[in-house]
Structure 1
Amino acid sequence: MDNEKNVKKDGPGMLYLCATPIGNLEDITYRVLRVLSEADLIAAEDTRNSIKLLNHFEIKTPMTSYHEFNKYDKAKVLVDKILGGMDVAVITDAGTPGISDPGEELVKQCRAAGIRVTSLPGPAACITALTMSGRETRRFAFEAFLPADKNERKEVLAELACETRTMIIYEAPHRLTKTLAELQDTLGGDRLITICKELTKRYENSMEFTLESACEYYENNEPRGEYVLVIAGKSREQLKAEARKQWENMSVAEHVQMYMSQGMDKKEAMKAAAKDRGVSKRDIYQELEGKA
């Protein structure tokens, strides 16, 4: 494996995170195929699903299950096997292991045990959707699936309300309308969103909406397939405008006095108030002197 296999002869094996197609089998890489063929063991999220992939490419490597419900105990077993000299390849149902799946726990345990870990690049639904969305790509926040717990979900949504980066969320069809409604309530109906579904598959589709129009659309069109939501972040200009608006109910004199009561001298207090209101210090001075 690019001389990686030699590690096994002198000590522990390695953990290989192998990205598999999210729909189109042609997206698998030559390197992933080779590593899956040469590894001693493949840890698969769902062996029933993965056997179809392995059979398609005539890969005979033994498999074992590694999923959400056994990820802690099974990771310990896999770590012991790797320490004993085995090379283990991890595959998820689709995409890159460690992204919104139990591979994350195995990586943590391997690194804690001093095992070498490498990731073989390949498909990832979040990146695929982001790059085709038309939203800004320089900065983004990946949220995967929103939490099922109501309180945690509420907290995460509240955090997203002021997020300036593009946001990426995964969603299943039966929960899509509810999630869109929650996002509309939190982010506002005019927030732009690109909704991608069935990425790389025959019925791949992506549509741009406002959150309000997205809610209306899916009320009349039953969601089908797996979805990735790519949502525009809040603009910095809007954040500044909202910050300034909170001072509208306070007079300039009261605003300056507030800072002075905190220990600032008048000059510093005027400067701080000017910054809060998005105006110049001269404007604050003129207001206080009654010259505005």
Structure 2
Amino acid sequence: MNNSEKQKGLIYIIPSPIGGTPPLEVLPISIKKVIDQLNHFIVENEKIGRRFIKKITPNKNQEELIISTLNKFTSKEDLSSYLEPCLSGVSIGILSDSGCPGIADPGAEIISLAHKFGVKVKPLIGPSSIILAMMSSGMNGQNFSFNGYLPIDDKNRTKAILKYQRISLKENQTQIFIETPYRSDKLFIEMLKVLDANTLLCIACDLSLNTEFIKTLPIAIWKKKKIILNKRPCIFIIQGAF
């Protein structure tokens, strides 16, 4: 890339809804104003990205949009080329399929490159299921750790759950996990089996939707309840307790 001294464009980090809620019910009007100004976008999935843009700005000409995809198949060479408009003075918006780019979603790589090449990064306000769940859990919000996905292998997953419980007890640190929706019930059942009776578990499902469910209880109480998550997107949060 030719990093010239001319005025660079910005890279806007644009959140999107975390459920099927209409975008303008959960996103500030400032996001619409930004999208109105942009024609270059980096998205996780082009079809989903275009649909989101159309919902926010229905009169925007889709044929004028220049869309680049950012996912696990994106090469380092492609990543570098994605910033070319910014280096030429043209601003770009980055979108993930749901929530905030760069937080448990693609985006960090291109944002890191933006810093490297002196491109100003402008994050916009919007929903994050991780933060919403943490806010609603009643657990320690001064010291918490987001651990992403737990291992798929049963043995390694059990080890990870117990390790994070130990850390939580030792450091008074809240531990946050996510799981693929179709494995949510399996993870919940395993947590009931291996976590201590006093450990607090928060389950936050379908955040921002009409079917939203958020509850924090000790494992001993969870064991008495019949809960089926049924492939719903969930955030799991634990806090060790003596």
* Bin for the TM-score computed over the shorter chain: 0.7 to 0.9
Rounded Cα–Cα distance in structure 2 between residues aligned with 1:196 and 1:174: 15
Match of 1:171 in 2: 179
Match of 2:128 in 1: 124
Matched, 1:15 2:11: yes
Rounded Cα–Cα distance in structure 2 between residues aligned with 1:93 and 1:146: 21
Rounded Cα–Cα distance in structure 2 between residues aligned with 1:100 and 1:72: 19
Rounded Cα–Cα distance in structure 2 between residues aligned with 1:39 and 1:87: 7
Task: Please report the TM-score for the alignment, with normalisation by the length of structure 1.
Answer: 0.68
Please tell me whether the aligned partners of residues 185 and 228 of structure 2 are also in contact (alpha carbons under 8 angstroms).
no
Please tell me whether the aligned partners of residues 39 and 66 of structure 2 are also in contact (alpha carbons under 8 angstroms).
yes
Which stretches in structure 2 are left out of the alignment for 5+ residues? none
Would the alpha carbon gap of residues 175 and 16 (structure 1) be closer, same or farther in structure 2, given more than 3 Å must change?
same
Match of 1:56 in 2: 55
Match of 1:183 in 2: 191
Match of 2:40 in 1: 41
Q: How far is 1:84 from its partner?
A: 2.5
Match of 1:248 in 2: none
Q: How far is 1:93 from its partner?
A: 0.8
Identify which of 217, 221, 231 aligns with 2:228: 221
Match of 1:198 in 2: 206
Rounded Cα–Cα distance in structure 2 between residues aligned with 1:173 and 1:213: 23
Higher helix share: 1
Classify the secondary structure of the residue corresponding to 2:131: helix
Rounded Cα–Cα distance in structure 2 between residues aligned with 1:86 and 1:215: 55
State how 1:106-125 maps to structure 2 within 5 Å.
106-125=110-129
Please tell me whether the aligned partners of residues 191 and 231 of structure 1 are also in contact (alpha carbons under 8 angstroms).
yes
Would the alpha carbon gap of residues 230 and 43 (structure 1) be closer, same or farther in structure 2, given more than 3 Å must change?
same
Q: How far is 1:97 from its partner?
A: 0.8
Please tell me whether the aligned partners of residues 165 and 238 of structure 2 are also in contact (alpha carbons under 8 angstroms).
no
Across the two proteins, how many residue pairs are aligned to each other?
227
Rounded Cα–Cα distance in structure 1 between residues aligned with 2:122 and 2:75: 19
Rounded Cα–Cα distance in structure 2 between residues aligned with 1:102 and 1:131: 23
Pairwise CA RMSD of aligned residues?
Answer: 2.7
Higher relative contact order (CA 8 A, sep 6+): 2
Q: Quick one: which amino acid aligns to residue 72 of structure 2?
A: E
Task: Please report the TM-score for the alignment, with normalisation by the length of structure 2.
Answer: 0.80
State how 1:27-38 maps to structure 2 within 5 Å.
27-38=26-37
Which stretches in structure 1 are left out of the alignment for 5+ residues? 1-7, 239-292
Q: Of the two, which has the highest radius of gyration?
A: 1
1:120-142 Cα shifts (integer Å, max 9, x gaps): 12110011111122323232211
Please tell me whether the aligned partners of residues 27 and 125 of structure 2 are also in contact (alpha carbons under 8 angstroms).
no
Q: Quick one: which amino acid aligns to residue 221 of structure 1?
A: I
Would the alpha carbon gap of residues 132 and 14 (structure 1) be closer, same or farther in structure 2, given more than 3 Å must change?
same
Q: Quick one: which amino acid aligns to residue 55 of structure 1?
A: K
Please tell me whether the aligned partners of residues 180 and 215 of structure 1 are also in contact (alpha carbons under 8 angstroms).
no
